[in-house]
Amino acid sequence: MENQAKQNETILVVDGDIITRTVIADYLRHCGYRVLEANDAHEAQLALQHQAFHVDLILSDVNLPGDMTGFQLSNWIREHQPEIKVLLSAAEERTVKAAGDLCEDGPHLAKPYDPAIVLDHIRRLRGGSAQR
């Protein structure tokens, strides 16, 4: 039953590092989620504005390529699609703390992260029991 519920949920993974993005996206697919991938904030915005895609949660790196950071993408999402939960990740400890402070509805992740820990955070966010 839990796997069927996951199949109805879509996660958008936004990360400029193709290896990191592919590994976590494949892991989440294996766990039963539909997963979209974006290299940068611009691609993420295009996916979010496309009528064919319904995204439930975004997992984004803070340091994205291009002219928009993960923080800025998170703010854009809050303004345009506030129902979408955002989970930010970063390689530096202080950036992780700042991401956690910005992303008030969820936990924060330090990279490199264990895919099982990411899945745990996603489950808590989707279940409404995320703790800070």
Cis peptide upstream of residue 112 (ω within 30 degrees of 0): yes
pLDDT per residue over 2-35, tens digit each? Answer: 454 456 799 999 999 998 899 889 999 989 999 9
Q: Is the residue at 132 inside a domain?
A: no
- Report pLDDT for 131: 38
The CATH number of residue 65's host domain is 3.40.50.2300
Q: Is the residue at 123 inside a domain?
A: yes
pTM score of the predicted model: 0.76
Q: Is the residue at 15 inside a domain?
A: yes
The more confident residue out of 6 and 81 is: 81
Q: At 25, which amino acid appears? A: A
Question: Structural domain tally of the chain?
Answer: 1
Q: Is the residue at 51 inside a domain?
A: yes
Residue 97: HSE in the Cβ half-sphere, 13 Å Cα cutoff: 2
Q: Mention every residue, 6+ apart, whose C-beta is less than 8 A from residue 42.
A: 66, 68
Handedness of CA 50, 55, 57, 60 (dihedral sign): negative
Q: Find the domain containing 72 and state its range.
A: 2-127
